[in-house]
């Protein structure tokens, strides 16, 4: 996968996994989402969530970081093979994001994405728009995160 | 009862159609780079020149950073003084304009809909539209999502 033109709809990638510790859950939440069930184990036990669990945005941010690291691995492979690395641009948005289950302390989440669509952009001929589905699954095979996203990707320059 | 629910925002305090400004925040280049280093280390979020070469036109915040700024603003602005029970998901996030160093966001919500949960009648769902607007009056990001709140008459049964 080097350019927009090479992307195949249906292509899937495992982008890595991450184990959530209490320290990390609390550190993220103190900065960005300091609700009691993300920073206080006792309050969390009394909440609907039933125990200390990661902010939903924390589980999504880990997806993003692993996604960027995966993109960097693809770029390094392309360079090593003497090809131009892929160019990734910004995203106009995401939709249909679901947190079907909490991510509790000690959970290991495996993340992946799947390409679901693509189209060239008439207004920006150097870029195409790629649609993807993102997924995070815990160690018991239960989904904890899913969303649909879009991002710009460089088209082959002629 | 360990606290006074009447002092906290409960499900009943949200009215369909109301718009409330609840937070403002200014971001620096260092804020943008710090967030991107942790969660979205793409060159356009780390470096002015790489940003200029991208469709963002200069160093600009990660979209996830914009979401986190809105989330933190929600917490400080009203959620921490509420009966919030979290959120099952988000219908839509739109990243409409780049967020650049020195920009100040004014963040507001509009209540789109409220309804009591059928399966958990002590909980109500409030559907919000959150909008972050920069100092030029441009909408930079929007989030549409439901948040669960305990109802006032049952709030003493939940934390």
pLDDT of residue B6: 46
Report the alpha-carbon distance of residue B82 to residue B107 in Å, rounded. Answer: 18
pLDDT tens-digit readout, B112-158 = 999 999 999 999 999 999 999 999 999 999 999 999 999 987 655 44
Of A49, A61, A93, the CB nearest to B86: A49
Enumerate the domain spans of chain A. 4-154
Report the alpha-carbon distance of residue B17 to residue B15 in Å, rounded. Answer: 6
Q: Do A127 and B84 lie within an 8 Å CB cutoff?
A: no
**How many Cα atoms occupy the beta-carbon half-sphere of A69 within 13 Å?**
16
Q: What percent of chain A has pLDDT over 90?
A: 73
Check residues A155 and A142 and name the one with the higher pLDDT. A142
**H or E element that contains A17:** strand A12-19
The two three-digit tokens of residue A93, written as one number:
């948005």
Q: Give me the interface pTM, i.e. the ipTM.
A: 0.93
Q: Which band of pLDDT confidence, cut at 50, 70 and 90, is reported for residue B1?
A: very low
Please give the C-alpha separations between residue B42 and each of A8, A61, A64, B3, B59, in angstroms, as whole numbers.
23, 13, 10, 45, 11
Of A68, A95, A124, the CB nearest to B42: A68
Q: Residue A124: its chain B contacts at CB < 8 A?
A: 55
Q: Are A120 and A4 in contact (CB under 8 A)?
A: yes
Q: Which band of pLDDT confidence, cut at 50, 70 and 90, is reported for residue A158?
A: low
CA dihedral A86, A87, A88, A90 (to 10 degrees): -170
Does the domain spanning A4-154 belong to CATH 3.40.50.1000? no
Q: Which band of pLDDT confidence, cut at 50, 70 and 90, is reported for residue A87?
A: confident
Alpha helices in A5-154 (DSSP H): 22-32, 36-39, 41-46, 56-80
pLDDT tens-digit readout, A35-64 = 999 999 998 998 878 899 999 999 999 999
Strands (E) in B12-117, as ranges, are 19-26, 89-95, 104-116
The model's pTM is 0.92
Of the ranges A6-10, A87-91, B73-77, which one carries the lowest mean pLDDT score? A87-91
List the domains of chain B with CATH numbers.
11-28+61-150 (3.10.129.10)
Question: What phi and psi values does residue A4 have, to the nearest 5 degrees?
Answer: -50, -40
Residue B50 exposed, middle or buried by CB count within 10 Å (0-12, 13-18, 19+): middle
pLDDT of residue B7: 62
Report the alpha-carbon distance of residue A71 to residue A73 in Å, rounded. Answer: 5
pLDDT of residue B116: 96
B interface with A, Cβ–Cβ < 8 A, is 38-42, 44, 54-56, 60, 62-64, 67-68, 71-72, 75, 79-80, 84-96, 98, 120, 123, 145, 148, 158-159
Q: Do B84 and A152 lie within an 8 Å CB cutoff?
A: no
Tell me the shortest Cα–Cα distance from A59 to chain B, in angstroms.
Answer: 11
Secondary structure of residue B9 in the 3-state scheme: strand
Q: Are A40 and A49 in contact (CB under 8 A)?
A: no
Residue B156 exposed, middle or buried by CB count within 10 Å (0-12, 13-18, 19+): middle
Q: Do A31 and B80 lie within an 8 Å CB cutoff?
A: no
Q: Are B54 and A90 in contact (CB under 8 A)?
A: yes
pLDDT tens-digit readout, B46-102 = 999 999 988 889 999 999 999 999 999 999 999 999 999 889 899 999 999 999 999
In this model, does residue A21 exceed pLDDT 70?
Answer: yes
Q: Do B86 and A97 lie within an 8 Å CB cutoff?
A: no
Tell me the shortest Cα–Cα distance from B119 to chain A, in angstroms.
Answer: 13
Mutate to test the interface with A, among B40, B53, B93 (most CBs of A within 10 A): B93
CA-based nearest residue to A99, from B86, B158, B66, B70: B86
pLDDT of residue A142: 98
**H or E element that contains B53:** helix B48-53
């Amino acid at each position: 996968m080097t350019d927009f033109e090479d992307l195949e709809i249906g292509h899937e990638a495992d982008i890595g996994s991450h184990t959530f510790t209490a320290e990390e859950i609390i550190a993220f939440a103190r900065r960005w989402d300091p609700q009691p069930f993300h920073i206080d184990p006792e309050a969390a036990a009394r909440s609907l969530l039933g125990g200390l669990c990661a902010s939903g945005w924390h589980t999504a941010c880990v997806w993003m970081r692993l996604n960027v690291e995966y993109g960097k691995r693809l770029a390094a492979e392309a360079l090593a093979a003497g090809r131009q690395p892929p160019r990734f641009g910004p995203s106009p948005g995401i939709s249909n994001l679901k947190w079907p289950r909490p991510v509790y302390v000690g959970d290991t989440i495996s993340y992946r994405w799947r390409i679901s669509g693509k189209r060239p952009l008439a207004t920006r001929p150097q870029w195409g728009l790629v649609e993807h589905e993102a997924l995070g699954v815990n160690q018991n095979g239960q989904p904890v995160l899913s969303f649909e996203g879009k991002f710009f990707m460089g088209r082959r320059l002629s | 009862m360990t606290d006074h629910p009447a002092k906290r925002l409960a499900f009943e305090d949200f009215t369909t159609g109301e718009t409330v400004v609840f937070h403002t925040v200014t971001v620096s280049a260092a804020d943008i780079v710090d967030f991107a280093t942790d969660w979205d280390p793409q060159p356009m979020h780390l470096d002015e020149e790489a940003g200029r070469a991208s469709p963002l036109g200069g160093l600009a915040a990660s979209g996830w950073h914009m979401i986190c700024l809105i989330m933190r603003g929600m917490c400080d602005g009203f959620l921490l003084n509420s009966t919030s029970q979290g959120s099952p998901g988000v219908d839509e996030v739109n990243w409409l304009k780049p967020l650049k160093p020195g920009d100040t966001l004014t963040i507001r919500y509009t209540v789109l809909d409220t309804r009591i949960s059928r399966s958990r009648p002590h909980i109500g769902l409030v559907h919000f539209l959150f909008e972050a607007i920069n100092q030029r009056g441009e909408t930079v990001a929007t989030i549409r999502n439901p948040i669960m709140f305990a109802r006032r008459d049952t709030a003493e049964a939940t934390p």
